[in-house]
Copies of this chain bind each other. A is one copy, B any other.
Amino acid sequence: MTDGERLLDAVLRLTTALQRDMETGLAAVGLTPARAHLVGVLVTSGPQPQQALARQLEVTPRNVTGLVDALERDGFVTREPQPTDRRASIVTLTARGREVADGLVAGRRELGGQLARVLPAGRVAALADDVAALADEVERLAGGAR
Distance, CA A18 to CA B138, complexed state (A): 6
Within 8 A of B (CB), among A14-72: 14-15, 17-21, 24
Interface of A is mostly: helix
Do residues A130 and B127 form an inter-chain contact, with CB atoms below 8 A?
yes
Do residues B131 and A10 form an inter-chain contact, with CB atoms below 8 A?
yes
Number of copies: 2
Q: What is the size, in residues, of chain A's interface with B at 8 Å between Cβ atoms?
A: 50
Assuming the A-B contacts A115-B8, A118-B134, A134-B118, are A142 and B3 also in contact, with contact meaning beta carbons closer than 8 angstroms in the complex? no
Assuming the A-B contacts A24-B145, A116-B2, are A128 and B10 also in contact, with contact meaning beta carbons closer than 8 angstroms in the complex? yes
Query: What's the nearest-Cβ distance from chain B to residue A110, in Å?
Result: 9
Taking beta carbons and an 8 Å cutoff, which residues of A are in contact with B?
2-15, 17-21, 24, 108-109, 111-119, 123-125, 127-139, 141-142, 145
Can you show 7 pairs from A to B with CB atoms below 8 A apart?
A: A2-B116, A7-B124, A11-B14, A11-B131, A21-B142, A115-B137, A119-B130
